[in-house]
Amino acid sequence: MPTPTRNILERSITIIEGLVDHGEPVGPRELARLTGIDRSAVSRILLQLTNIEVIEKSEAGYGPGTRLFEIARLLGALDTLPTAAHAALSRLVEKFDETCYVCVIHGDAAVFLYEEQSTKPLRYVADLGRPVPLHAGAAGRAILAGMPRDQAAHLLGKGPLPALTANTVIEPSAVLNMAESDADLGYTVSNGERVEGGVAVASAFFDQSGTCLGSVVFTSPVDRFPESEVIGAEVKAAAIALSARLGYRQTDP
């Protein structure tokens, strides 16, 4: 059973999150509605948080205070994309011992930026820093899946797109439809679309504003690839965790 101290801490954090999410000064009544916490409890906690400068009160309502901004600054300095990417990839590689990457969008291409290598002698290797097409392979198509369709269509152009292997999908409309299905699933699977004999599973990650920054990517040789549903669930979870560390809060179920 939760202790009284834990209840107070949980409610305090919930109120802070509600206040920050609101984006502008807010009063106790609205915070109670947003958080589902009793208004009298909200008022008491707001007073306590104001006294220690975590939040501050103005004529318009309550907003973030000096100490909350300082905490945000310190966390931002500690949890940069390289640090957060390493944490996400390490968990995947520790679990599956296959090479994993964080790929970011750069113009109209994707770039493999961070990696954690498998210990196995035969493994998938991508050149870090080298741009690859968005349409060919899971890494790029997951990024397309994380974008609005019109933005993805603009990046793909009218086509036909270059074929990197016999399995590369080259019609933009087909790539867009696949990306749309991937978005519903939460991850992308590709088999030999960019590199023959290679399989990849990727899931998009987002920044605080909800903009897709790139994808978390699992790779392996095709003959060592386990069930895609198992890998997909783990890669999706890693992308969600990475997004959360970058400030993105998913509101949809």
Portion of the chain with pLDDT greater than 90, in percent: 60
Residue 18 has pLDDT above 60, yes or no: yes
- Residue at token pair 């996400």: 88
pLDDT at position 253 is 43
Show the beta-strand stretches assigned E in 117-211: 131-133, 188-191, 198-206
Residue 128 confidence class, pLDDT cut points 50, 70, 90: confident
pLDDT at position 223 is 86
pLDDT at position 78 is 52
CA distance 13 to 206: 22
For residue range 188-246, what is the model confidence (pLDDT) as tens digits? 999 999 988 889 999 999 988 899 999 999 999 988 887 788 899 999 999 999 998 88
Q: What is the mean pLDDT of the chain?
A: 88
| Class of residue 76 by CB neighbours under 10 A (exposed 0-12, middle 13-18, buried 19+) | exposed
pLDDT at position 159 is 76
For residue range 23-72, what is the model confidence (pLDDT) as tens digits? 889 999 999 998 999 999 999 999 999 999 999 999 889 999 888 888 87
Q: Where are the domains of the chain?
A: 4-76, 79-245
| Class of residue 13 by CB neighbours under 10 A (exposed 0-12, middle 13-18, buried 19+) | exposed
Among the listed ranges 71-85, 153-167, 209-223, which one has the minimum average pLDDT value? 71-85
Cβ-contact 196, 181 below 8 angstroms: no
CATH 1.10.10.10 fits 4-76, yes or no: yes
Mean pLDDT of all residues in 117-125: 85
pLDDT at position 4 is 57
CATH number of 79-245: 3.30.450.40
- Residue at token pair 């599956």: 96
- pTM summary value: 0.71
